[in-house]
Amino acid sequence: MQISTVLCWIFRHINCHKMGEFHSFLSHFTSMETDMKKLLYLLFAVVIALPLAAQNKYVGVKGCACHNMPKQGKQVDVWKKSDHAKAFETLKSDKAAEIAKKNGIASAAEAKQCLECHSTGAGDPAEKTFAAADGVQCEACHGAASGYKAIHNKPENKEKAVAAGLLKADEKTCKPCHGANKMHDAKPFDYKKAWEQIKHPAPKG
């Protein structure tokens, strides 16, 4: 099969946002090289999935309740014990008020430049289950979940979930908030040490 055939299909469906259709389309071509399939998924992400992800809404940690089941390693409980869960509350502290005043900010708990790192979404579209006061939640690292929430729990749907906005967190995800900070002095950031404190893998088997 020629790549031009697939590209024509992609651009005919650019406004449909139907990752499932695209995945099924490729599955018919069992002889296609794996590298070629990876390239096509990348092209799909660029022309279709990224605009779709931009439309996703935040569901909040309450919308991720399934991740607190034992088979998921009670990941929400791990989050609750982390500083991420308390990040919004720190904006109400005397220290936060002092920093806000120095930067000409009336209220740290309401300022977008503070919420960008002490909460999730910072005013972006969200569903009713979302609350900024819940701090730095799952989607701060994994992307707004409305587009992939219903499908990401099955291994066979991994590519579909990624195309719908699911992100894999890594050191680059952390650096914008844990690196140099123009608002206040940031603590030295050791990614490996920090990851050991917040890692939340699902049990195997």
Question: Band of the pLDDT at 187, cuts 50, 70, 90?
Answer: confident
The Cα 41–Cα 95 span in angstroms is: 47
Domain ranges of the chain: 3-55, 61-198
CB atoms within 10 A of CB 174: 17
Residue 73, pLDDT above cutoff 50: yes
CA distances from 185 to 3, 70, 92, 180 (A): 51, 38, 18, 8
The Cα 36–Cα 52 span in angstroms is: 23
- Crossing angle of helices 19-27/3-12, nearest 10°? 160
Question: Band of the pLDDT at 151, cuts 50, 70, 90?
Answer: very high
Does the global pTM surpass 0.95?
no
The Cα 83–Cα 101 span in angstroms is: 23
- Of the chain, the percentage scoring pLDDT greater than 70 comes to 73
Domain 61-198 homologous superfamily, CATH: Flavocytochrome C3; Chain A (1.10.1130.10)
Q: What is the rounded average pLDDT of the residues 127-144?
A: 94
